[in-house]
Structure 1
Amino acid sequence: MNGFFSTDKGQVRNHNEDSGGLFYNQSNQLLAVIADGMGGHKAGDVASQMATQALREQWEQKDEIPSPDVAEEWLRSTITEINETVFSFAQENEDCKGMGTTIVSVICTDEFVTVAHIGDSRCYLANNQGFKQITEDHSLVNELVRSGQITKDDAEHHPRKNVLLKALGTEQAVGMDVQSIGWDKNNKLLLCSDGLSNKIEEHELQAYLEEEISLQEIAEKLVYIANERGGEDNISLVLVAYDGTAEEGDS
Protein backbone atom coordinates (compact mmCIF):
# COMPACT_ATOMS: atom_id res chain seq x y z
CA MET A 1 0.00 0.00 0.00
CA ASN A 2 1.40 3.32 -1.07
CA GLY A 3 0.14 6.58 0.48
CA PHE A 4 0.86 10.30 0.66
CA PHE A 5 -0.68 13.11 2.76
CA SER A 6 -0.42 16.82 2.03
CA THR A 7 -1.93 19.93 3.59
CA ASP A 8 -1.55 23.62 2.74
CA LYS A 9 -3.11 26.70 4.33
CA GLY A 10 -3.87 28.18 0.91
CA GLN A 11 -3.49 31.78 -0.25
CA VAL A 12 -5.99 33.59 2.01
CA ARG A 13 -6.37 31.96 5.44
CA ASN A 14 -3.80 32.91 8.08
CA HIS A 15 -3.79 29.46 9.64
CA ASN A 16 -4.63 25.90 8.69
CA GLU A 17 -7.77 24.36 10.22
CA ASP A 18 -7.37 21.09 8.28
CA SER A 19 -5.74 17.98 9.68
CA GLY A 20 -5.11 14.45 8.47
CA GLY A 21 -2.59 11.75 7.82
CA LEU A 22 -1.78 8.11 7.14
CA PHE A 23 -1.50 5.75 10.09
CA TYR A 24 -0.79 2.03 10.56
CA ASN A 25 -2.24 -0.48 13.04
CA GLN A 26 -0.51 -3.43 14.69
CA SER A 27 -0.95 -5.51 11.51
CA ASN A 28 0.37 -2.75 9.22
CA GLN A 29 -3.08 -1.98 7.81
CA LEU A 30 -3.52 1.61 6.73
CA LEU A 31 -5.96 4.25 7.98
CA ALA A 32 -6.28 7.47 5.93
CA VAL A 33 -7.89 10.57 7.48
CA ILE A 34 -8.87 14.08 6.36
CA ALA A 35 -10.58 16.52 8.76
CA ASP A 36 -11.62 20.10 7.96
CA GLY A 37 -12.24 22.12 11.11
CA MET A 38 -14.62 25.02 11.64
CA GLY A 39 -15.93 27.42 14.28
CA GLY A 40 -14.60 29.99 16.70
CA HIS A 41 -11.23 31.73 16.84
CA LYS A 42 -8.72 29.03 15.93
CA ALA A 43 -11.14 26.44 17.30
CA GLY A 44 -11.50 24.69 13.94
CA ASP A 45 -7.94 23.47 14.07
CA VAL A 46 -8.51 22.25 17.65
CA ALA A 47 -11.47 20.13 16.51
CA SER A 48 -9.78 18.68 13.42
CA GLN A 49 -6.54 17.90 15.28
CA MET A 50 -8.40 16.32 18.21
CA ALA A 51 -10.33 14.08 15.82
CA THR A 52 -7.27 13.07 13.79
CA GLN A 53 -5.09 12.45 16.83
CA ALA A 54 -7.74 10.36 18.58
CA LEU A 55 -8.25 8.22 15.48
CA ARG A 56 -4.49 7.81 15.13
CA GLU A 57 -3.99 6.76 18.76
CA GLN A 58 -6.77 4.20 18.69
CA TRP A 59 -5.79 2.84 15.27
CA GLU A 60 -2.13 2.37 16.21
CA GLN A 61 -3.23 0.16 19.13
CA LYS A 62 -5.64 -1.87 16.99
CA ASP A 63 -4.86 -5.40 15.83
CA GLU A 64 -5.84 -6.81 12.44
CA ILE A 65 -9.19 -5.87 10.91
CA PRO A 66 -10.32 -9.15 9.25
CA SER A 67 -13.57 -8.16 7.54
CA PRO A 68 -15.70 -5.23 6.33
CA ASP A 69 -18.17 -5.79 9.20
CA VAL A 70 -15.42 -5.39 11.78
CA ALA A 71 -14.01 -2.35 9.96
CA GLU A 72 -17.42 -0.67 9.82
CA GLU A 73 -18.10 -1.32 13.50
CA TRP A 74 -14.65 0.00 14.51
CA LEU A 75 -15.07 3.25 12.53
CA ARG A 76 -18.63 3.77 13.72
CA SER A 77 -17.88 3.22 17.42
CA THR A 78 -14.55 5.10 17.38
CA ILE A 79 -15.91 8.16 15.58
CA THR A 80 -19.00 8.19 17.83
CA GLU A 81 -16.72 8.25 20.88
CA ILE A 82 -14.54 11.00 19.35
CA ASN A 83 -17.63 13.08 18.58
CA GLU A 84 -18.65 12.95 22.23
CA THR A 85 -15.13 13.95 23.33
CA VAL A 86 -14.92 16.92 20.94
CA PHE A 87 -18.46 18.07 21.85
CA SER A 88 -17.70 17.92 25.58
CA PHE A 89 -14.43 19.81 25.12
CA ALA A 90 -16.24 22.55 23.18
CA GLN A 91 -18.89 22.85 25.91
CA GLU A 92 -16.25 23.18 28.61
CA ASN A 93 -14.01 25.70 26.81
CA GLU A 94 -15.52 29.07 25.94
CA ASP A 95 -13.10 29.73 23.06
CA CYS A 96 -14.16 26.47 21.43
CA LYS A 97 -17.96 26.80 21.69
CA GLY A 98 -19.57 25.68 18.43
CA MET A 99 -16.42 24.16 16.97
CA GLY A 100 -16.60 21.06 14.82
CA THR A 101 -14.93 19.29 11.96
CA THR A 102 -15.72 17.26 8.91
CA ILE A 103 -14.15 13.81 8.86
CA VAL A 104 -13.51 11.28 6.14
CA SER A 105 -11.64 8.19 7.27
CA VAL A 106 -10.79 5.07 5.29
CA ILE A 107 -9.49 1.70 6.44
CA CYS A 108 -7.46 0.16 3.61
CA THR A 109 -6.83 -3.59 3.54
CA ASP A 110 -5.70 -5.96 0.79
CA GLU A 111 -9.28 -7.09 0.14
CA PHE A 112 -11.50 -4.06 0.80
CA VAL A 113 -11.70 -0.43 1.89
CA THR A 114 -14.16 0.88 4.48
CA VAL A 115 -15.12 4.56 4.38
CA ALA A 116 -16.77 6.62 7.13
CA HIS A 117 -17.58 10.30 6.76
CA ILE A 118 -19.40 13.26 8.27
CA GLY A 119 -19.65 16.56 6.41
CA ASP A 120 -18.35 17.48 2.96
CA SER A 121 -14.78 16.18 2.93
CA ARG A 122 -14.77 13.57 0.21
CA CYS A 123 -13.44 10.20 -0.86
CA TYR A 124 -13.02 9.31 -4.55
CA LEU A 125 -12.11 5.95 -6.10
CA ALA A 126 -10.15 5.58 -9.35
CA ASN A 127 -10.27 2.12 -10.93
CA ASN A 128 -10.63 0.50 -14.35
CA GLN A 129 -14.31 1.54 -14.41
CA GLY A 130 -13.29 5.21 -14.17
CA PHE A 131 -13.35 7.75 -11.36
CA LYS A 132 -16.20 8.44 -8.93
CA GLN A 133 -17.03 10.13 -5.66
CA ILE A 134 -18.00 7.43 -3.18
CA THR A 135 -19.13 9.74 -0.37
CA GLU A 136 -22.25 11.96 -0.36
CA ASP A 137 -21.72 15.48 0.98
CA HIS A 138 -23.73 16.25 4.12
CA SER A 139 -24.41 19.76 2.84
CA LEU A 140 -27.40 21.93 2.10
CA VAL A 141 -26.68 22.20 -1.62
CA ASN A 142 -26.23 18.45 -1.99
CA GLU A 143 -29.64 17.89 -0.41
CA LEU A 144 -31.10 20.43 -2.86
CA VAL A 145 -29.49 18.50 -5.74
CA ARG A 146 -30.69 15.14 -4.41
CA SER A 147 -34.26 16.45 -4.09
CA GLY A 148 -34.18 17.90 -7.61
CA GLN A 149 -34.55 21.53 -6.50
CA ILE A 150 -31.29 22.61 -8.15
CA THR A 151 -28.88 21.07 -10.66
CA LYS A 152 -25.30 19.98 -9.98
CA ASP A 153 -24.12 23.00 -11.98
CA ASP A 154 -26.29 25.30 -9.84
CA ALA A 155 -24.71 23.79 -6.73
CA GLU A 156 -21.21 24.83 -7.85
CA HIS A 157 -22.15 28.51 -7.60
CA HIS A 158 -24.81 28.43 -4.89
CA PRO A 159 -24.39 31.20 -2.26
CA ARG A 160 -24.90 28.67 0.57
CA LYS A 161 -22.54 26.08 -0.87
CA ASN A 162 -20.50 25.83 2.35
CA VAL A 163 -23.46 25.21 4.68
CA LEU A 164 -23.08 21.78 6.32
CA LEU A 165 -25.99 19.72 7.62
CA LYS A 166 -23.79 17.82 10.07
CA ALA A 167 -20.25 17.87 11.44
CA LEU A 168 -18.31 15.98 14.08
CA GLY A 169 -18.36 17.63 17.51
CA THR A 170 -21.18 20.15 17.03
CA GLU A 171 -23.85 17.97 18.68
CA GLN A 172 -23.76 15.31 21.37
CA ALA A 173 -24.76 12.61 18.88
CA VAL A 174 -24.10 12.60 15.15
CA GLY A 175 -24.94 10.21 12.33
CA MET A 176 -22.33 9.15 9.82
CA ASP A 177 -22.26 7.26 6.54
CA VAL A 178 -20.19 4.05 6.57
CA GLN A 179 -19.67 1.73 3.61
CA SER A 180 -17.24 -0.92 2.37
CA ILE A 181 -16.19 -1.57 -1.22
CA GLY A 182 -13.81 -3.94 -2.94
CA TRP A 183 -10.66 -2.71 -4.64
CA ASP A 184 -7.82 -4.18 -6.69
CA LYS A 185 -4.22 -3.64 -7.68
CA ASN A 186 -3.63 -0.27 -9.40
CA ASN A 187 -6.75 1.31 -7.88
CA LYS A 188 -6.31 4.68 -6.15
CA LEU A 189 -8.20 6.57 -3.47
CA LEU A 190 -8.32 10.35 -3.07
CA LEU A 191 -9.52 11.86 0.20
CA CYS A 192 -9.77 15.65 0.29
CA SER A 193 -11.19 18.72 1.99
CA ASP A 194 -13.41 21.10 0.05
CA GLY A 195 -10.45 23.43 -0.40
CA LEU A 196 -9.43 21.02 -3.16
CA SER A 197 -12.77 19.73 -4.47
CA ASN A 198 -14.18 23.27 -4.82
CA LYS A 199 -11.29 24.26 -7.08
CA ILE A 200 -10.67 21.22 -9.30
CA GLU A 201 -13.39 19.50 -11.29
CA GLU A 202 -13.91 15.75 -11.18
CA HIS A 203 -12.62 15.09 -14.71
CA GLU A 204 -9.46 17.04 -13.87
CA LEU A 205 -8.90 15.04 -10.68
CA GLN A 206 -9.26 11.86 -12.70
CA ALA A 207 -6.72 13.01 -15.28
CA TYR A 208 -4.11 13.77 -12.61
CA LEU A 209 -4.66 10.47 -10.80
CA GLU A 210 -4.11 8.63 -14.08
CA GLU A 211 -0.68 10.21 -14.65
CA GLU A 212 2.29 7.86 -14.38
CA ILE A 213 4.02 9.89 -11.65
CA SER A 214 4.46 9.44 -7.89
CA LEU A 215 1.66 10.15 -5.45
CA GLN A 216 3.74 13.00 -4.02
CA GLU A 217 4.01 14.61 -7.46
CA ILE A 218 0.26 14.23 -8.04
CA ALA A 219 -0.46 15.81 -4.63
CA GLU A 220 1.91 18.71 -5.29
CA LYS A 221 0.26 19.41 -8.66
CA LEU A 222 -3.24 19.36 -7.17
CA VAL A 223 -2.32 21.71 -4.31
CA TYR A 224 -0.57 24.05 -6.75
CA ILE A 225 -3.65 24.24 -9.02
CA ALA A 226 -6.03 24.87 -6.10
CA ASN A 227 -3.78 27.73 -4.97
CA GLU A 228 -3.47 29.11 -8.49
CA ARG A 229 -7.27 29.24 -8.71
CA GLY A 230 -7.56 31.39 -5.60
CA GLY A 231 -6.66 29.14 -2.67
CA GLU A 232 -9.32 30.81 -0.50
CA ASP A 233 -9.53 27.76 1.76
CA ASN A 234 -7.10 25.32 3.34
CA ILE A 235 -6.24 22.47 0.95
CA SER A 236 -5.70 18.92 2.19
CA LEU A 237 -5.59 15.51 0.57
CA VAL A 238 -4.56 11.91 1.03
CA LEU A 239 -3.72 9.69 -1.93
CA VAL A 240 -3.59 5.92 -1.50
CA ALA A 241 -2.54 3.50 -4.23
CA TYR A 242 -2.98 -0.26 -4.05
CA ASP A 243 0.42 -1.25 -5.37
CA GLY A 244 2.25 -2.85 -2.49
CA THR A 245 5.04 -0.29 -2.08
CA ALA A 246 5.71 2.25 0.67
CA GLU A 247 5.90 6.01 0.40
CA GLU A 248 5.46 8.32 3.37
CA GLY A 249 4.11 11.87 3.33
CA ASP A 250 4.16 14.57 6.01
CA SER A 251 1.60 14.01 8.74
Structure 2
Amino acid sequence: MKKYYVLITGASKGFGRAMALEFAKRDMNLVLVALPDSGLKELSVFIKRNFNVEVFYLENDLSMKDSYYAIAEFIKIKNIHLKYLVNNAGILSRGYFDELSDQFILKQIEVNVTAPTILINLLLKNLKANAPAGIMNISSMAGFFALPKKQVYGGTKAYLTSFSKSLGKELKKDNISVTTICPGGLNTTSRLCYQNRIVGWLTRESVLNPEDAAKIAIMGMFNKKGVIVPGFINKFLMLLDKLLPEFLKDYLANRELNKLPVA
Protein backbone atom coordinates (compact mmCIF):
# COMPACT_ATOMS: atom_id res chain seq x y z
CA MET A 1 0.00 0.00 0.00
CA LYS A 2 1.34 3.43 -0.96
CA LYS A 3 2.18 6.01 1.68
CA TYR A 4 1.22 9.47 0.51
CA TYR A 5 2.98 12.72 1.38
CA VAL A 6 2.41 16.45 1.40
CA LEU A 7 5.33 18.66 0.36
CA ILE A 8 5.30 22.13 1.94
CA THR A 9 7.82 24.88 1.20
CA GLY A 10 8.55 27.63 3.70
CA ALA A 11 7.43 25.16 6.35
CA SER A 12 9.47 26.12 9.40
CA LYS A 13 7.59 29.22 10.53
CA GLY A 14 4.38 31.18 10.23
CA PHE A 15 1.74 29.98 7.79
CA GLY A 16 3.89 27.11 6.51
CA ARG A 17 4.36 25.77 10.03
CA ALA A 18 0.63 26.06 10.69
CA MET A 19 -0.05 24.14 7.47
CA ALA A 20 2.42 21.40 8.44
CA LEU A 21 0.79 20.95 11.85
CA GLU A 22 -2.72 20.95 10.37
CA PHE A 23 -1.83 18.28 7.81
CA ALA A 24 -0.13 16.22 10.54
CA LYS A 25 -3.32 16.39 12.62
CA ARG A 26 -5.04 14.83 9.61
CA ASP A 27 -2.53 11.92 9.60
CA MET A 28 -0.72 13.09 6.47
CA ASN A 29 2.98 12.29 6.03
CA LEU A 30 5.14 15.31 5.27
CA VAL A 31 8.09 16.55 3.26
CA LEU A 32 9.07 19.92 4.72
CA VAL A 33 11.29 22.44 2.98
CA ALA A 34 12.69 25.64 4.48
CA LEU A 35 15.84 27.71 4.80
CA PRO A 36 18.86 26.31 6.65
CA ASP A 37 18.94 27.10 10.39
CA SER A 38 15.27 28.09 10.43
CA GLY A 39 14.16 25.52 13.00
CA LEU A 40 13.01 22.96 10.44
CA LYS A 41 14.76 20.00 12.07
CA GLU A 42 13.22 20.79 15.45
CA LEU A 43 9.75 21.13 13.92
CA SER A 44 10.14 17.82 12.09
CA VAL A 45 11.12 16.01 15.30
CA PHE A 46 8.19 17.60 17.17
CA ILE A 47 5.69 16.49 14.51
CA LYS A 48 7.05 12.94 14.40
CA ARG A 49 6.83 12.58 18.17
CA ASN A 50 3.40 14.11 18.62
CA PHE A 51 1.43 13.09 15.52
CA ASN A 52 2.84 9.68 14.60
CA VAL A 53 3.42 10.56 10.94
CA GLU A 54 6.51 10.28 8.78
CA VAL A 55 8.45 13.48 8.13
CA PHE A 56 11.30 14.20 5.74
CA TYR A 57 12.90 17.64 5.80
CA LEU A 58 15.18 19.49 3.40
CA GLU A 59 17.00 22.71 4.18
CA ASN A 60 17.07 24.58 0.88
CA ASP A 61 17.22 28.21 -0.22
CA LEU A 62 14.61 28.55 -2.97
CA SER A 63 16.23 31.72 -4.30
CA MET A 64 18.88 29.37 -5.72
CA LYS A 65 17.79 27.43 -8.80
CA ASP A 66 19.74 24.29 -7.86
CA SER A 67 17.35 23.89 -4.91
CA TYR A 68 14.37 23.00 -7.13
CA TYR A 69 16.26 20.18 -8.77
CA ALA A 70 17.68 18.98 -5.44
CA ILE A 71 14.13 18.69 -4.06
CA ALA A 72 12.91 16.80 -7.13
CA GLU A 73 15.91 14.46 -6.97
CA PHE A 74 15.30 13.79 -3.26
CA ILE A 75 11.67 12.90 -3.98
CA LYS A 76 12.76 10.54 -6.74
CA ILE A 77 15.53 8.82 -4.74
CA LYS A 78 13.30 8.30 -1.69
CA ASN A 79 10.44 7.08 -3.92
CA ILE A 80 8.05 9.50 -2.24
CA HIS A 81 4.46 9.48 -3.48
CA LEU A 82 3.19 13.06 -3.45
CA LYS A 83 -0.50 13.64 -2.87
CA TYR A 84 -0.34 17.40 -2.29
CA LEU A 85 2.15 20.15 -3.08
CA VAL A 86 1.92 23.38 -1.08
CA ASN A 87 3.98 26.30 -2.43
CA ASN A 88 4.15 28.57 0.60
CA ALA A 89 7.70 29.98 0.59
CA GLY A 90 7.79 33.69 -0.20
CA ILE A 91 9.60 36.97 0.37
CA LEU A 92 7.62 39.96 1.64
CA SER A 93 8.01 43.57 0.54
CA ARG A 94 10.59 45.95 1.99
CA GLY A 95 9.75 49.45 0.82
CA TYR A 96 9.38 51.85 -2.07
CA PHE A 97 10.61 50.57 -5.42
CA ASP A 98 13.44 53.11 -5.76
CA GLU A 99 14.78 51.96 -2.39
CA LEU A 100 15.07 48.30 -3.41
CA SER A 101 18.26 46.77 -4.75
CA ASP A 102 18.17 44.83 -7.98
CA GLN A 103 19.48 41.80 -6.06
CA PHE A 104 16.52 41.90 -3.67
CA ILE A 105 14.00 42.32 -6.50
CA LEU A 106 15.43 39.34 -8.39
CA LYS A 107 15.49 37.23 -5.22
CA GLN A 108 11.85 38.09 -4.50
CA ILE A 109 10.79 37.10 -8.01
CA GLU A 110 12.87 33.92 -7.81
CA VAL A 111 11.23 32.72 -4.58
CA ASN A 112 7.70 34.00 -5.21
CA VAL A 113 7.37 33.17 -8.91
CA THR A 114 10.10 30.92 -10.30
CA ALA A 115 10.27 28.46 -7.40
CA PRO A 116 6.58 27.45 -7.32
CA THR A 117 6.34 27.39 -11.12
CA ILE A 118 9.35 25.13 -11.66
CA LEU A 119 8.61 22.93 -8.64
CA ILE A 120 5.17 22.17 -10.06
CA ASN A 121 6.73 21.40 -13.43
CA LEU A 122 9.29 19.05 -11.88
CA LEU A 123 6.84 17.26 -9.57
CA LEU A 124 3.76 17.12 -11.79
CA LYS A 125 4.44 13.63 -13.08
CA ASN A 126 4.61 12.37 -9.49
CA LEU A 127 1.32 14.09 -8.61
CA LYS A 128 -0.40 12.67 -11.69
CA ALA A 129 0.70 9.16 -10.70
CA ASN A 130 -1.02 9.63 -7.33
CA ALA A 131 -4.21 11.34 -8.51
CA PRO A 132 -6.60 12.44 -7.25
CA ALA A 133 -4.08 14.99 -6.00
CA GLY A 134 -3.84 18.70 -5.33
CA ILE A 135 -1.63 21.75 -5.61
CA MET A 136 -1.99 24.73 -3.31
CA ASN A 137 -0.28 28.02 -4.11
CA ILE A 138 -0.16 30.62 -1.37
CA SER A 139 -0.94 33.95 -2.97
CA SER A 140 -2.16 37.13 -1.25
CA MET A 141 -4.85 39.78 -1.37
CA ALA A 142 -1.98 42.09 -2.33
CA GLY A 143 -2.23 40.52 -5.79
CA PHE A 144 -5.63 42.19 -6.28
CA PHE A 145 -4.76 45.71 -5.06
CA ALA A 146 -2.39 48.53 -6.03
CA LEU A 147 -0.42 49.05 -2.81
CA PRO A 148 2.61 51.30 -2.24
CA LYS A 149 5.62 49.43 -0.84
CA LYS A 150 4.15 46.13 -2.12
CA GLN A 151 4.64 46.65 -5.84
CA VAL A 152 6.89 43.66 -6.62
CA TYR A 153 5.27 41.45 -3.99
CA GLY A 154 1.78 42.24 -5.29
CA GLY A 155 2.95 41.62 -8.85
CA THR A 156 4.37 38.21 -7.97
CA LYS A 157 1.16 37.23 -6.19
CA ALA A 158 -0.99 38.42 -9.09
CA TYR A 159 1.10 36.15 -11.34
CA LEU A 160 0.65 33.21 -8.98
CA THR A 161 -3.13 33.64 -8.86
CA SER A 162 -3.45 33.94 -12.65
CA PHE A 163 -1.04 31.05 -13.29
CA SER A 164 -2.94 28.84 -10.85
CA LYS A 165 -6.31 29.52 -12.50
CA SER A 166 -5.00 28.57 -15.94
CA LEU A 167 -3.11 25.54 -14.63
CA GLY A 168 -6.21 24.34 -12.80
CA LYS A 169 -8.14 24.22 -16.06
CA GLU A 170 -5.35 22.24 -17.73
CA LEU A 171 -5.01 19.69 -14.93
CA LYS A 172 -8.70 19.06 -14.37
CA LYS A 173 -8.55 16.19 -16.87
CA ASP A 174 -5.77 14.62 -14.76
CA ASN A 175 -7.85 14.82 -11.56
CA ILE A 176 -5.43 17.34 -10.01
CA SER A 177 -6.97 20.39 -8.38
CA VAL A 178 -5.12 23.71 -8.17
CA THR A 179 -6.13 25.91 -5.25
CA THR A 180 -4.94 29.43 -4.58
CA ILE A 181 -5.44 30.97 -1.16
CA CYS A 182 -5.25 34.76 -0.96
CA PRO A 183 -5.08 35.79 2.69
CA GLY A 184 -4.83 39.35 3.94
CA GLY A 185 -2.71 40.02 7.00
CA LEU A 186 -1.53 37.05 9.05
CA ASN A 187 -0.05 37.13 12.54
CA THR A 188 3.04 35.14 11.55
CA THR A 189 5.91 37.11 13.15
CA SER A 190 6.27 39.45 16.12
CA ARG A 191 6.84 42.39 13.76
CA LEU A 192 3.72 41.60 11.74
CA CYS A 193 1.69 41.09 14.92
CA TYR A 194 2.73 44.61 15.99
CA GLN A 195 1.97 46.11 12.58
CA ASN A 196 -1.40 44.38 12.49
CA ARG A 197 -2.34 45.95 15.83
CA ILE A 198 -1.62 49.56 14.85
CA VAL A 199 -3.45 49.74 11.53
CA GLY A 200 -7.05 50.94 11.16
CA TRP A 201 -10.03 49.04 12.54
CA LEU A 202 -11.17 47.47 9.25
CA THR A 203 -7.68 46.32 8.30
CA ARG A 204 -7.09 45.06 11.83
CA GLU A 205 -10.32 43.04 11.75
CA SER A 206 -9.23 41.40 8.49
CA VAL A 207 -6.12 39.85 10.06
CA LEU A 208 -6.21 36.10 10.71
CA ASN A 209 -4.14 33.78 12.84
CA PRO A 210 -2.17 31.37 10.64
CA GLU A 211 -3.77 28.35 12.33
CA ASP A 212 -7.25 29.51 11.32
CA ALA A 213 -6.14 30.33 7.77
CA ALA A 214 -4.48 26.90 7.46
CA LYS A 215 -7.73 25.09 8.31
CA ILE A 216 -9.63 27.17 5.74
CA ALA A 217 -6.95 26.57 3.10
CA ILE A 218 -6.77 22.81 3.55
CA MET A 219 -10.54 22.34 3.59
CA GLY A 220 -10.75 24.47 0.44
CA MET A 221 -8.15 22.33 -1.30
CA PHE A 222 -9.89 19.10 -0.25
CA ASN A 223 -13.09 20.54 -1.74
CA LYS A 224 -11.18 21.46 -4.95
CA LYS A 225 -11.89 25.18 -4.71
CA GLY A 226 -10.05 27.42 -7.17
CA VAL A 227 -9.48 30.70 -5.31
CA ILE A 228 -10.00 31.18 -1.58
CA VAL A 229 -10.17 34.56 0.15
CA PRO A 230 -10.36 33.62 3.85
CA GLY A 231 -12.37 35.68 6.32
CA PHE A 232 -15.58 37.67 5.99
CA ILE A 233 -13.84 41.06 6.24
CA ASN A 234 -11.42 40.15 3.46
CA LYS A 235 -14.31 39.18 1.19
CA PHE A 236 -15.95 42.50 2.09
CA LEU A 237 -12.76 44.39 1.19
CA MET A 238 -12.70 42.67 -2.21
CA LEU A 239 -16.26 43.89 -2.83
CA LEU A 240 -15.42 47.37 -1.53
CA ASP A 241 -12.54 47.61 -3.99
CA LYS A 242 -14.98 47.22 -6.89
CA LEU A 243 -17.31 49.92 -5.52
CA LEU A 244 -15.02 52.71 -4.27
CA PRO A 245 -13.59 55.38 -6.60
CA GLU A 246 -9.83 55.32 -7.16
CA PHE A 247 -9.06 58.54 -5.25
CA LEU A 248 -10.76 57.17 -2.13
CA LYS A 249 -8.91 53.87 -2.37
CA ASP A 250 -5.63 55.79 -2.68
CA TYR A 251 -6.50 57.87 0.38
CA LEU A 252 -7.33 54.81 2.48
CA ALA A 253 -4.21 52.93 1.36
CA ASN A 254 -1.93 55.88 2.14
CA ARG A 255 -3.57 56.37 5.53
CA GLU A 256 -2.83 52.76 6.47
CA LEU A 257 0.71 53.04 5.07
CA ASN A 258 1.49 56.08 7.23
CA LYS A 259 0.61 54.16 10.37
CA LEU A 260 3.29 51.56 9.77
CA PRO A 261 6.73 51.88 11.40
CA VAL A 262 9.67 52.83 9.21
CA ALA A 263 11.54 49.70 8.07
Which structure: larger Rg? 2
TM-score of the superposed pair, with normalisation by structure 2: 0.35
Larger helix share, 1 or 2: 2
Question: Quick one: higher RCO (CA 8 Å, sep 6+), 1 or 2?
Answer: 1
Larger strand share, 1 or 2: 1
TM-score of the superposed pair, with normalisation by structure 1: 0.36
